[in-house]
Structure 1
Amino acid sequence: MLDVTIVIVALPAIATDLSGDLQSIQLIVDAYALTLAALLLNTGALADRFGRRRVFLAGLVTFGAASALCGAASGATFLVIARALQGVGGAMLFATGLAILGAAYHGADRAKALGAFGAVFGGAVALGPLVGGAIVEVADWRWIFLVNLPVVALAIVIAHRHVPETRSPRTRRVDWVGQITFTIGIGSLVAVLIDGGDWGWTSARNLALAMTAVLALTAFAVSQGRGAEPMFDLALLRNRSFVGSAITAFATSASLFGMFVYLILYFQKVEGIDGLHAGARLLPVTIVAFVAAAGAGRLSAAISPRLVLTAALSCSACGLLQMTRLESGSSWTVALPGLVLCGLGFGLANPTVAAVTLAVAPPDQAATATGMNSTFRQVGVATGVAAMGAIFDHALRAPVGTGARAAQAESVAYTDALHRVFLAGSAIAALGAILAAVLVRAAPLVALPESSPQPDIAAAA
């Protein structure tokens, strides 16, 4: 998760060093999210069949190698390709991490584990800009990728020694039709979301990609419904809590990730501060998200996950709305209450979404189910960054003239563009809160004794 946001504050330095334009620089963020979204379900299904630890270790190796390539990039196109490869490794890690935790912990211990997972998840997202800013200030931007290498090496050693191997007890054939159609469908969909505004929403290229996405995802749904051994059990989509948790994952990512990107750009472009100080201003999000996530795992076992997820998205919606009070020339602390609320919403949402997903999924499909849920999260990241980028860019296209008045007008235009990003994010979060309230189960998740087996799908649902 750190690599989703760590590049944000380094984008100006990367653009200058590699002579990249706005579109290629946005792709540095989106290429990672695109491959993550397209491959999460595939890698989850493969992990259930061949072993979750095996796929996890392969993901670490791939992620580390791609990070080295990112650090050695000689041009913007090379960096975008390396980021896409990094997303392949990231997909393996996302799809297997929660499934490994679900198999290793039960009852109250699982709640604690998910709380710790959510705390690290939320903290990494919000810490990314600060860590990236610090690295850019004291070293070359390439170190924001190279710093992954010792972390990956340590993780490989720990996973090899201490993580037990788990897989589905049923041996199933690889669903190649499902794998291929889903990858093509999600990849085309995310590509439309990322570049649709630049190409023109009604352009031939955009319409062709959109049609490809519709046809491929339709073929995927048909193949999963008729196949003898599909990689994704469509029965999960009949479970309202699973659907509600997936929508929550999407809405949380779509509403907040775009805000992170363009708020950082606002601090750097309008206020003229460096990446380190811009990232430091997101520390309230980090701290609150970390604390909230640490307690959210237990919270979902004690009270209704519907209440937790609805409250989480409502906090994000209210926080984004409050941040529209930020004006050109005002102190950034005007937006501090909104940042705190966004951190609270983000921290509450992530471990609760994970807990609901693991509770309603059969144990033999744990990685597939968490992969599907993470797919919604990553499509939300790509959608949020792309949609907010289109809104932000459109607001900045008005001519501002020349001279001192032009500088002031540009500052006002940046502020207005940022307000539109906040309002769009708030609307997404508010809609997500409504759907979570309608779909997610009202009863608390059952807290099983530590010696109990994993919950049966019928009982959990």
Structure 2
Amino acid sequence: MLSVALDLTIEAIILLSYFMILLDNSIVFTSTVKIATDLHLNSQTLAWVSSAYTLTFGGFQLFGGRVGDVYGRKRVFLIGLLLFSLGSLMVGVATNALMIISMRAFQGIGSAILAPTTLALLLDNYHGTMRARAIAAYGTTAGIGASFGMVLGGVITSVFSWRYGFFLNVPVGLLMFVLTLRFVEDSGHRRTNHLDLIGTFLSVLGLSALVYSIDGTIYQLLALIIAIIALGLFVYAEHVVKNPIMPLRLFTDRQRNSAYIARFFFIGAAFAYFFVTTQALQHIYGFTPLLTGLAFLPATIPQFLSALQVSNLSTKLGNARLIVIAVLFVTIGVFLTVVIGLNRGYWLAIAIPMVIFGIGQGLVLSPLTAEGVANTDPEIAGAASGVVNTVHQFGQSVGISAVVALTSGVHNGVTSYIMQLLIISAISVLSLVAAFVLQSRKHRQQG
């Protein structure tokens, strides 16, 4: 009985820490207007409130995953909690553009350390059916954290202040720090005390430059060239160094590769949907930030309920088949708004499709996470977790940027939103294709 209670405590610590990161990432969507007003930010500066976080979060993901393999995941997890909590506090008290942008970047580093380490700790502490259940809970947290952040962000911004969305992380982060010291055991999987410094530098440079080439405002082509060169050198370095930050054998498993691709396009579609729908609700229907947040409940509630069924459905159907079904739900949910038409009003045009979208999102992330870390040995669990979270973060950046860029010349709100939904549907179809490939490979392996 004590063992079960301890397992549940460890799982709660890890998942709540991960939930904080995801919540924070989504809260910004419904808080941007208030942040801009309070700190007198223009649109270009406001974009950097999100981009600075994305830049460091995406750039340091591989480092965050591998450093736990080398120096111990509990120690690295504690450092990540402190950095994230401190960054959140400083964002909350920010008084000008420079302060909020620099502290968002700092907060992103803490997130980049925390996100992959949370998954690696789950892999360390659970095995067999318990591991499958823990990974399912992790994937569920990824989806619910993103959706619930939209709701909570609207409520906090309207009733209190956008600052409280960041202040909330501080006591929670410190509580998780104390509980981690008390209950979480470190793994004994370290095989080296040497971090791949060349790979670390090249990965941070390459990934950060790649994020900037997507989300930046000037010198994007130069950033892309730097990213291509740095990442090319990074892959070569990982091939020749003794203890790579990203062991290339992670990509020898074709099933994992299919799961990475499916996750990339799914996250791109999902976050782009959140982003453009937030804007549409306010500009087309005239919703306040509070109503905008509450308007996502038709997605959040079904997502939570469907996520509770993931373990049973995965057992009956298998992860690959469940991913196909879930992504199909998401694709239909997005496209249905186009078919119904925005003139039918929020409840018919947005809320009903959101229910279908939410069911799909609740079902998909757990099996995608399980397939993304499948067949990995303990010594590279952190690196594998880093890849999963890197794919997650870049899918988000690419999805939002692609949709916004492709519709930037359309100035009619209704027309723009319809076009955005069509593009998001196409991105979701790409995820569906990757899911079919994953299912095919699993079927051939089992046959």
TM-score, length of structure 2 as denominator length: 0.90
Q: Is 1:366 aligned to residue 385 of structure 2?
A: no
Match of 2:182 in 1: 161
Amino acid at match of 2:426: A
What residue in structure 1 maps to residue 321 of structure 2? 307
2:49 aligned partner, one-letter code: I
Q: For 1:46, which of 64, 67, 73 is the aligned residue?
A: 67
Query: Could you tell me whether the CA contact under 8 Å between 1:111 and 1:301 is conserved in 2?
Result: no
Q: Secondary structure at the match of 2:409?
A: helix
Q: Is the 8 A contact 1:326 1:335 kept in 2?
A: no
CA-atom RMSD, angstroms? 2.0
| Residue of structure 1 aligned with 2:221, choices 207, 231, 250 | 207
Q: Report if aligned partners of 2:260, 2:388 keep a CA contact under 8 Å in 1.
A: yes
Q: How many residues align?
A: 423
- Whether the 8 Å contact between 1:241 and 1:356 is mirrored in structure 2 is yes
Specify which of 381, 391, 400 is matched with residue 396 of structure 2.
Answer: 381
User: Per-residue deviation at 1:441?
Assistant: 6.6
| TM-superposed deviation, 1:148 | 1.1
Of residues 226, 240, 250 in structure 1, which corresponds to 2:264?
A: 250
For residue 283 of structure 1, report the CA deviation from its aligned partner: 0.9
More deviation, 129-138/306-315: 306-315
Gaps of 5+ in 1: 200-204, 397-412, 445-458
- Post-superposition shift, 1:303? 3.0
Match of 2:235 among 221, 231, 241: 221
Structure 1's 218 and 290: CA in aligned 2 closer, same or farther, altered over 3 A?
same
Distance 1:98 1:302, change over 3 A: farther
Write the mapping of 1:11-50 to structure 2, written as runs, cut at 5 A.
11-50=32-71
Which amino acid in 1 is paired with 2:266?
Answer: T
Whichever residue aligns with residue 336 of structure 1, its letter is: A
Per-residue displacement from partner, 1:379-416 (whole Å, max 9, x unpaired)? Answer: 111112222222343212xxxxxxxxxxxxxxxx1111
Offset of 1:243 from its aligned partner? 0.8
Counterpart of 1:89 in structure 2: which amino acid?
Answer: G
Cα distance, 1:440 vs. partner? 5.2
Q: Which residue of 2 aligns with 1:134?
A: 155
Q: CA distance change for structure 1 residues 328 and 143 in 2, over 3 Å: closer, same or farther?
A: same
Pairwise CA distance, 1:442: 5.0
1:62 & 1:248 partners in 2: Cα distance?
31
- What is the correspondence of 1:180-191 to structure 2 with a 5 Å cutoff? 180-191=201-212
> What pairs up with 1:311-350 in 2 under 5 angstroms?
311-325=325-339, 327-333=341-347, 334-350=349-365
CA contact (8 A) 1:250 1:379 kept: yes
CA distance in 1, matches of 2:314, 2:371: 8
In the alignment, what sits opposite 2:293? 279
Listed as ranges, the matches of 1:47-66 within 5 Å are: 47-66=68-87
Q: Which one is further off, 294-303 or 161-170?
A: 294-303
Distance (whole Å) between structure 2 residues aligned to residue 170 and residue 25 of structure 1: 44
Matching residue of 2:16: none
The one-letter code matched in structure 2 to 1:374 is N
Q: Does the Cα contact within 8 Å between 2:262 and 2:430 map onto a contact in 1?
A: no
Whole-angstrom CA distance in 2 between matches of 1:315 and 1:365: 33
Quote the Cα distance in structure 2 between the aligned partners of 1:168 and 1:38. 25
AA aligned to 1:165 is D
Tell me which amino acid in the other structure corresponds to 2:172: V
Q: CA deviation at 1:160?
A: 1.4
Return closer, same or farther for 1:332/1:120 CA change in 2, 3 Å cut-off: same
1:430 equivalenced with 2:426 (yes/no) = no
Change (3 A) 1:329 1:77: farther
Counterpart-to-counterpart distance in 2, 1:132 and 1:392:
26
Whether the 8 Å CA contact 1:289–1:344 is kept in 2: the answer is yes
Q: Structure 2: 5+ residue runs without aligned partners? A: 1-21
What is the CA-CA distance between 1:76 and the residue it aligns to? 2.6
**Cα offset, 1:134, TM superposition:** 1.1
Contact 2:214 2:220 in 1 (8 A): no
C-alpha distance in 1 between matches for 2:311 and 2:102 = 36
CA contact (8 A) 1:245 1:440 kept: no
Secondary structure in structure 1 of the residue aligned to 2:430? helix
1:443 CA drift (Å): 4.4
Measured in 2, the distance between the counterparts of 1:297 and 1:31 equals 36
- TM-fit CA distance, 1:170: 1.4
Report Cα offsets for 1:53-79 as digits up to 9, x if no partner. 111111110010000111111123321
Letter in structure 2 aligned against 1:117: Y
What pairs up with 1:253-264 in 2 under 5 angstroms?
A: 253-264=267-278
Amino acid corresponding to residue 417 of structure 1 in structure 2: S
